[in-house]
Structure 1
């Protein structure tokens, strides 16, 4: 037996092998140790000759629960079954691998959720070569992208629905990969050996399981065998990759996917449709940080579905609708015509509540079409799959009638026009209604699926089977009378077949023609010639009935697969209708309005609300705010204290923009919105220990992506930029970033800051406007009104927020004293009317000495050190002024600003206690200043 095991194990050395032995799946050697550890199973052993072989096992009838746990941990499993009857086997029972299960290729319902379960492939790509010459083998070590960044081909598919997608253009750099992985959340990702080391950690960070793959892709694009009936999910003889240009990045990645699925499925025919080619520019791009901070699919802190945008919008009634709704969120539109078409469909269903509610009821009576179709194609469908297809086809005429009759006399929205000409597959529905029992059993192989009256031959065989069963029941009564044994009974088991059981006290009454078959503790089992004759007739009729039913079911399967293209069309239309009614339902319940497309690229929202927070709060509790960004004000600089609502406001604007581009109404009284190509966010703080990055490094990487990839059509959200480092560095980085966004990128941007000095940028940057979240001071404390107001905030109220958080009062009092001390001297770094340009490598001795500020020192000592620092910085600023390049007006303005700052500084120092006549500088400080100057 072990020789057979090892031969089969060599076929799948990188997988766990579940080896069928009787009623158990057994695992041996290292596989047994892994499964025992991962599942907490008892590790036993079996004699293997010279040594004892580690072994553990699970019952075959409950194996699914164990397999599911292993798959969720990222293991791949091969199932080895007994493929001949042990009773008729000569010698060792023949065994073969019948199924391979991997995290990204599951078809069976017990392993699936309603969402897509994607398998992705990443291949290295040399983008410096000519992309137009097919077959040139442009796989590389991942080099050759823009600016030396590595480039990759990318494709993904869902085996359970048959859908596949390939990115036409190469992805350049890890940021592009991160955006795509975040969009689809694959369960498994194939990586070529040459990029494994670089990308394996990145794939794991996105919750996917990397698989090293270097299989043969020759002929991967072909559906080698035709599907039953000549058509299937990939029609006979057609390319899976027919929509992809050979030799392109997406084509290469898709070939690897098909080859891998073929290996796993162990079949030539695959449950796949032809791949769909797409480009990144076809949809709004949302990188991983943006999806995370906007909480599209799960909350950022608790990683909970409840509280996400998808949770709010999911009023779908079908699995297909739920998957499509998520796809709408994953890839918002950039085509204004497509956006208008979706909005028109939502508008219609919002306007007609009776139609909408009727559709919701009907859609709830339909089932998934895509997954049963894929299982049918792969040969793994169940009786429930067939019944659900039948019940869905039953509901379709009612859906179409309700839709068309409710809109009789008016123009149908563009997205509903296909329902007029839709083939409802009445013939297929009638076939399934005639062929299937009302509630078929799960397994198609055990019989009982085909309805009585559908096939005369099957009815005859079933009658024979029933007659034999009735004759057995009569035989039991006859034998009781003949023998006088009242406790005699006739039973059946799979080992001995039919038998007569007699209890031990009655054995003396057993007739001579009874043949002993089995001895039990309190009884004996026998058979007779008559019993065996009827058994043969029953079992023969049963076997023949099952065989006949299998032929009939294969014909039903063939007829379904012939209609596969039309079934897919139905699935798409049902899913889309479900999404539109869901969006209309949310819009109606929440008071959303239809947004207009801005003709001039401006963004205007009147009384906008955060969609999720509004839903989680009591009615009327959320405070709405306006938003306006146009050519005169493309950057809003938002100031205000913590807890005032800056981050909420920024997210609110981004979510309204995203809802609009997915085709939804928005939470506002009115909205006129542009079409943006990307939304970038830099919100929240957190390190990335897996990547070895600090909080500040994570922040800088996100800002880098934003500055390098944003365009004038992008929307940027930047929250408290520069807070992860020193005040001076943070302020300098923040100002430089704002100036770059304003002057170079030209994107619409919402930027919040605690650096109130940055408010002076409004006078210098013509398209920047200051706004703040209002705070009202009262005798009993501070009130955060959450209302957006024009102008910059006057204070930060950080100590007040600290008190609200429960910081010990001793710390609060100390902080108040220090705040008065620091407030009297002004900020550590004054805002300049010139850019904060500090060339790298010019940190002098005076800067290092000035940085040595001891907050626990005496006030006079603090004053001297800090004043010296300010003086040195002031003198350096004057020295670095390029007077020759200034216009007379600029020179006068600069001089006036310098004088104003000096006057304010002297006044502050005089109030602090320094001598007014010497400007508040101590004698030692004056000497030090003279010496350094």
Structure 2
């Protein structure tokens, strides 16, 4: 390329591209955005558009691809969704008036964390995160460019940073410091995030308070710098940064939130089947986003929780007023996003009409809230600012039939601007004025064929044939002479023609300038609009929680400081909603102040996990401020919830089920306090039996002796039930079973005391395994139990320890003697040669099938 002559236009492209090497550069050329070189090759593949070339006859043609400027947004969305950046280079002057190459500049860089203009409507937040660190501390700041929200906090370690980024569901992280290769790998490869570097700070004292720590000021400043560098405009909608502390909310890792299906169903990644789906009766996009935030960050402050409960109670007590309130909220558009579009300079007439329509609803909403006549609503009522002057401006200025485009006229209401009204009158009535002049001059001159015509060269003119030239009045002046006729003008016709041409040319420009002036006026109200949006969103979420509470017969939870859990006839709210209230079997959960641990035994499929999740979900709902699914509920305020429910390999980081189990167990044990809730389901099953049992027992003992958190520990190790004799704060509960004539029914009810056996074969029967296989399993189980009883009797003489010793070779030989008949020798040899501990589930099933065939 160095030996080839580059055209001035391509040199301009290369100069701009050099400043944006990490972005696709969309280079405006007339009606298209063009891409060149590697950008073109890659974009053609990703966007499925044609790949051509510039200077096709050259030795090395330049690859080229393009998209129409009017439909570019859909292509930008695809690239950004795939994790790329897109730089938009616009023509900064009229090509007709340009001398040489048209001047072009990048006017915006759109990235996964700054995208606000998606062609796909989405009401959820898009948080851009920045991280920085000092020697022993991390700081994290995040912002939603589409709403102006801006937050900052300090975190103790990178694990907390990672968890917060996961909770925020960020797509892009701005790095303001050097990270280790391991940390970068974790963010890019494991979490699939785009990393962008920013080491400069944007100093804005209005947005970043100097009361923050030095590290928080640095990370917030770097986030602001990155946003201003990519967006290249003043962003008047950005709100002052708010400091928050993780400990100010109920702490839960991303894994915990996922296992509890808080914001989406973990299995489907859809809203349906989540707590968010259950609680969402919101009517506005702002309310929907706020509800997600409340679910993601339940409170730990009892007074704040009870304020929410009080308002929900008021809404429940006054059904008709609440119904009116819900209806009135349906007319409210997304004020936060509309305000940001105004700030970005992208608001169109439709946006302002939506804002105006919303503002007409605000006095109605305020009046309905006042009609409740409840002091609990006073602060909300006082925070509602109707902005009548802004509503009046939009109503008087914007035509209700205005289109979304701002350059083609028809957007400003008649009566708003005198000059525009005059232009419109001229355009509307000009034709009839010309017809009137034609008729008047025909009669005055006596030329019966006199008529007015128009062309681009001469404008409007009187057409007079040669035979009538003697009758032409003196006030006519010649404009052109033809072979058989002449063209004349008059001062009156010239004036009307001038008015009409001016009206036609200037009307759209005048409307555009009026609209831009109105948009500037609206921009002055952004902060008040954002405050109004927060208040309306809060009203919306609280009415939503009231509707859900009434529909599902939820009760108001109480809180105690004695660390007592008392839930009578509680239900897992989401499972109940999916199943239907008639089919769901409720369970009571009781921990007195002396009880810290419930050890839960019983077969899989019987409801242990649902019972455990029920407690966690009830706690989360209660600390959101929501009413809950039970007859009565009295809870302590938890500071954190830790879960290990369900087994799954972490394929991305290459960690086994057991490693994930141990890491999550460690996270809980290290961070839990006596005010936390821990849920462990079948911990230890990912390793050998005695390994797992030993670890499970020691974890229970450690939580009991050192942590003191309220804990539910479900296990299939029945031997652990003996711990209730040595640990005074542990109690046994089990899933009740109805056994009759060899048939087993799981009652999904929790009862006191330990389970007497595991019923694993009955679960296998429900799963549909062949009857011959099940009969054989029954026979083997009977033999093993008889043999185990013999061994246990002997070992009790030698040892009183809870967890039995690892079996010796002779024990193994003795157990294998169960298969001592000669025809089963092949089975024995196959078992001896198999490493059972390292089989995948599929390999294990194949082994069982193979052994069955051998038998």
Q: Taking structure 2 as the reference length, what is the TM-score of the superposition?
A: 0.85
Q: Which residue of 2 aligns with 1:318?
A: 284
The CA deviation string for residues 197-248 of structure 1, in whole angstroms up to 9 with x for no partner, is 333443357765322313422xx132xxxxxxxxxxxxxxx43111652513
Aligned-pair CA distance for 1:40: 2.0
Change (3 A) 1:498 1:40: farther
Q: Which residue of 1 aligns with 2:23?
A: 15
Q: Which residue of 2 aligns with 1:767?
A: 729
Gaps of 5+ in 2: 1-8, 440-446, 461-478, 829-855
1:70 pairs, out of 70, 79, 88, with 79
Between 1:826-835 and 1:791-800, the stretch displaced more is 826-835
SS where residue 681 of structure 1 aligns?
Answer: strand
The CA deviation string for residues 681-719 of structure 1, in whole angstroms up to 9 with x for no partner, is 000111111111011111111101001011100001000
Please tell me whether residue 559 in structure 1 is matched to residue 541 in structure 2.
no
The CA deviation string for residues 315-360 of structure 1, in whole angstroms up to 9 with x for no partner, is 0000110011011011100001001101111111112111211111
Please tell me whether residue 173 in structure 1 is matched to residue 158 in structure 2.
yes
Aligned-pair CA distance for 1:460: 1.6
Q: Which residue of 2 aligns with 1:47?
A: 55
Separation in structure 1 between the aligned mates of residue 183 and residue 403 of structure 2, nearest angstrom: 45
1:247 pairs, out of 209, 214, 230, with 214
Q: Which residue of 1 aligns with 2:46?
A: 38
Q: Which residue of 1 aligns with 2:341?
A: 375
Please tell me whether residue 153 in structure 1 is matched to residue 136 in structure 2.
no
Q: Which residue of 2 aligns with 1:412?
A: 375
Q: Is 1:320–1:368's contact at 8 Å kept on the other side of the alignment?
A: yes
Q: Is 1:181–1:206's contact at 8 Å kept on the other side of the alignment?
A: no
Q: Is 1:39–1:66's contact at 8 Å kept on the other side of the alignment?
A: yes
Q: Which residue of 1 aligns with 2:263?
A: 297
Q: Is 2:210–2:217's contact at 8 Å kept on the other side of the alignment?
A: no
Q: Which residue of 2 aligns with 1:876?
A: none
Q: Is 1:196–1:212's contact at 8 Å kept on the other side of the alignment?
A: no
Q: Which residue of 2 aligns with 1:707?
A: 669
Separation in structure 2 between the aligned mates of residue 449 and residue 729 of structure 1, nearest angstrom: 75
Aligned-pair CA distance for 1:95: 2.1
The CA deviation string for residues 58-78 of structure 1, in whole angstroms up to 9 with x for no partner, is 222222211111111011101
Aligned-pair CA distance for 1:27: 1.0
Q: Which residue of 2 aligns with 1:221?
A: 203
1:287 pairs, out of 253, 257, 265, with 253
Q: Which residue of 2 aligns with 1:361?
A: 327
Q: Which residue of 2 aligns with 1:185?
A: 169
Separation in structure 2 between the aligned mates of residue 32 and residue 371 of structure 1, nearest angstrom: 33
Separation in structure 1 between the aligned mates of residue 568 and residue 802 of structure 2, nearest angstrom: 35
Q: Which residue of 2 aligns with 1:879?
A: none
Aligned-pair CA distance for 1:26: 1.4
SS where residue 87 of structure 1 aligns?
Answer: coil
2:119 pairs, out of 110, 115, 124, with 110
SS where residue 306 of structure 1 aligns?
Answer: coil
Q: Is 1:103–1:209's contact at 8 Å kept on the other side of the alignment?
A: no
Q: Which residue of 2 aligns with 1:202?
A: 186
Separation in structure 2 between the aligned mates of residue 680 and residue 445 of structure 1, nearest angstrom: 56
Q: Which residue of 2 aligns with 1:139?
A: none
Q: Is 1:736–1:835's contact at 8 Å kept on the other side of the alignment?
A: no
1:349 pairs, out of 310, 315, 324, with 315
Please tell me whether residue 679 in structure 1 is matched to residue 641 in structure 2.
yes
Q: Is 1:593–1:667's contact at 8 Å kept on the other side of the alignment?
A: yes
Please tell me whether residue 427 in structure 1 is matched to residue 409 in structure 2.
no
Q: Is 1:469–1:538's contact at 8 Å kept on the other side of the alignment?
A: no
Please tell me whether residue 591 in structure 1 is matched to residue 591 in structure 2.
no
The CA deviation string for residues 738-783 of structure 1, in whole angstroms up to 9 with x for no partner, is 1111111000011100001111111111010100111111226211
Q: Which residue of 1 aligns with 2:295?
A: 329
Change (3 A) 1:10 1:628: same
The CA deviation string for residues 459-505 of structure 1, in whole angstroms up to 9 with x for no partner, is 1223334455778999999xxxx9x9xxxx9999xxx9999xxxxxx
Separation in structure 2 between the aligned mates of residue 684 and residue 433 of structure 1, nearest angstrom: 57
Change (3 A) 1:528 1:818: farther
Aligned-pair CA distance for 1:90: 3.1
Q: Which residue of 2 aligns with 1:125?
A: 134
Q: Which residue of 2 aligns with 1:457?
A: 419
Q: Which residue of 2 aligns with 1:2?
A: 10
Aligned-pair CA distance for 1:45: 1.6
SS where residue 346 of structure 2 aligns?
Answer: coil
Q: Is 2:172–2:196's contact at 8 Å kept on the other side of the alignment?
A: no
1:821 pairs, out of 777, 780, 783, with 783
Q: Is 2:383–2:532's contact at 8 Å kept on the other side of the alignment?
A: no
SS where residue 214 of structure 2 aligns?
Answer: coil
Q: Is 1:243–1:276's contact at 8 Å kept on the other side of the alignment?
A: no
Separation in structure 2 between the aligned mates of residue 15 and residue 856 of structure 1, nearest angstrom: 70
Aligned-pair CA distance for 1:82: 2.1
Separation in structure 1 between the aligned mates of residue 602 and residue 726 of structure 2, nearest angstrom: 21
Aligned-pair CA distance for 1:582: 0.4
SS where residue 375 of structure 2 aligns?
Answer: coil
Separation in structure 1 between the aligned mates of residue 232 and residue 434 of structure 2, nearest angstrom: 44
Q: Which residue of 1 aligns with 2:653?
A: 691
Q: Is 1:476–1:490's contact at 8 Å kept on the other side of the alignment?
A: no
Gaps of 5+ in 1: 128-150, 223-237, 500-511, 516-526, 867-933
Separation in structure 1 between the aligned mates of residue 367 and residue 720 of structure 2, nearest angstrom: 61
Q: Which residue of 2 aligns with 1:146?
A: none
Between 1:303-312 and 1:800-809, the stretch displaced more is 800-809
Q: Is 2:263–2:296's contact at 8 Å kept on the other side of the alignment?
A: no
Please tell me whether residue 809 in structure 1 is matched to residue 809 in structure 2.
no
Separation in structure 1 between the aligned mates of residue 524 and residue 31 of structure 2, nearest angstrom: 38
Separation in structure 1 between the aligned mates of residue 459 and residue 263 of structure 2, nearest angstrom: 58
Between 1:826-835 and 1:444-453, the stretch displaced more is 826-835
The CA deviation string for residues 836-874 of structure 1, in whole angstroms up to 9 with x for no partner, is 699xxxx9xx96887789859735999xxx9xxxxxxxx
Q: Which residue of 1 aligns with 2:237?
A: 271
Change (3 A) 1:535 1:673: farther
Separation in structure 1 between the aligned mates of residue 459 and residue 760 of structure 2, nearest angstrom: 85
Q: Which residue of 2 aligns with 1:858?
A: 819
Change (3 A) 1:405 1:22: same
Between 1:198-207 and 1:659-668, the stretch displaced more is 198-207
Change (3 A) 1:528 1:25: farther
Aligned-pair CA distance for 1:125: 2.7
Aligned-pair CA distance for 1:661: 0.3
Q: Is 1:366–1:391's contact at 8 Å kept on the other side of the alignment?
A: yes
Q: CA RMSD in A?
A: 3.5
SS where residue 258 of structure 2 aligns?
Answer: helix
Q: Which residue of 2 aligns with 1:228?
A: none
Q: Which residue of 2 aligns with 1:795?
A: 757
Q: Which residue of 2 aligns with 1:899?
A: none
Aligned-pair CA distance for 1:270: 5.1
